[in-house]
Structure 1
Amino acid sequence: MNKHENDITSIDNRIKSCIIENPEEPNDEYYAKIWFRYKDKFGVKHDGRHEFIADTKQKLISAIQDFMTTDKDGWSIE
C-alpha cells in the first residue's frame, strides 16, 4: 500500500482497500474508490464500494469521513 492509499484507509479502520486515480499528478479533481464490508437485511456482504470525487484532497477526505460516519437507511458499514 502506498502513502496515498494509506491516507485514505487510515481514515476509518472499516475501509478495507482503496484506489486513487493519478495521486501524483497535480490536477483539479481528486478521485478515490473505497471498499468495505457492510450488513443489510440479508446479512454481511464483503463487496461494499463507493466512489468519491472532489476538487481538493481535503474535501475528498472529508467526504469519505462523512460517508463512513453517516447513518445509512437499511444497511450499515461493518
Structure 2
Amino acid sequence: MGRCLIRREKEVDVIVEVDSGVIKRVLIGGDFFAFPEGRIDELQFRLIGAHVEEVRRIAESVLRNCEIVGVEKSDIIEALEKASSDN
C-alpha cells in the first residue's frame, strides 16, 4: 500500500493499494472541495482495476471539467502517481 501526503497551502492525502501493477483500492482526501460534487468519488471508482501507468490519463480525464478549490489538480495527480509507485 502506498501513501502520499502533499502539504502546501492545503493538503492532499492519497492512499493507493496496488497488486501486480493493478490498482485495488484508492482513497483521496484532504483540505479541498471538488465541483461538481462526486467527481473525486468518480475518480476513485475509475482508478480501481486500472494499471498504475494509467493513473495520470484517468485523473486528467475525470478532472478535466472539474473545479478544485483548495489545491491544484496537479497536486492530486502527483499524489496519486507517487502513492501508486510506492507499492
Kindly indicate whether structure 1 or structure 2 has the higher relative contact order, using CA contacts under 8 Å at least 6 residues apart.
2
Larger Rg: 1
TM-score (norm 2): 0.42
Q: Which has a greater percent of helix?
A: 2
TM-score (norm 1): 0.45
